Amino acid sequence: MLALAPTLAGCFSSSPVDALTSVSELGVTGFARPRGGREKECLVRAMYFESNRSSEEGLLAVGTVVMNRVASPKFPNTICKVVGQPNQFAKGVMTRPMTSSALPKIEDAAGAVLRGKRHRAVGSAMFFHAEGYTFPYTNMHYVAVAGGNAFYKKL
């Protein structure tokens, strides 16, 4: 269990992502593909593979980290380049099929992120790992736990 998790209680917003209209279409291969352009698809992929798909708060938190990285000069300046960076997101994030019935909800959350919605507690954090892991590093300041992940800033 994450040692700092108890100190995070009440530190992040629990409001759900607004319900937005977004439609998936069936791709030639039979797998659902997000509508809305390549950058949105890359954001959906990061949110799909990195968050508990049932947690709208977790989806928003992962999306916030992706957008924080895009805005940082330390990372690439497009969503697809950020998500596609080696060893940064789930293995196969750019290639594995997305087949969950939760895909429309994830697309909605990605659309909200692209329109500027952010997870308040994640703030400017650019890093996360699976909740429950602990590390001996002293440069990790945890700011939120959401969707099965612990979000942090490097000091």
Model pLDDT, residue 93: 97
Q: Show the low-confidence residues of the chain (pLDDT under 70).
A: 1-36
pTM for the structure as a whole: 0.78
Write the pLDDT tens digit of every residue in 73-85. Answer: 999 999 999 999 9
d(C-alpha 115, C-alpha 118), whole Å: 9
Domain 23-120 annotated CATH 3.30.420.40: no
Write the pLDDT tens digit of every residue in 59-72. Answer: 999 999 999 999 99
d(C-alpha 95, C-alpha 55), whole Å: 23
Q: What values do phi and psi take at 48, rounded to 5?
A: -65, -50
Q: What is the mean pLDDT of the chain?
A: 81
Q: What values do phi and psi take at 37, rounded to 5?
A: 100, 165
Model pLDDT, residue 86: 96
Q: Where are the domains of the chain?
A: 23-120
In the three-class reduction of DSSP (H, G, I as helix; E, B as strand; rest coil), residue 125 is classed as: coil
Model pLDDT, residue 113: 98
For 39, residues 6+ apart whose C-beta sits below 8 A from its C-beta are: 78, 79, 80, 114
E-strand spans in 3-139? 25-26, 32-33, 127-130
**DSSP 8-state secondary structure symbol assigned to residue 18:** P
17: nearest Cα among 62, 50, 49: 62
Model pLDDT, residue 45: 97
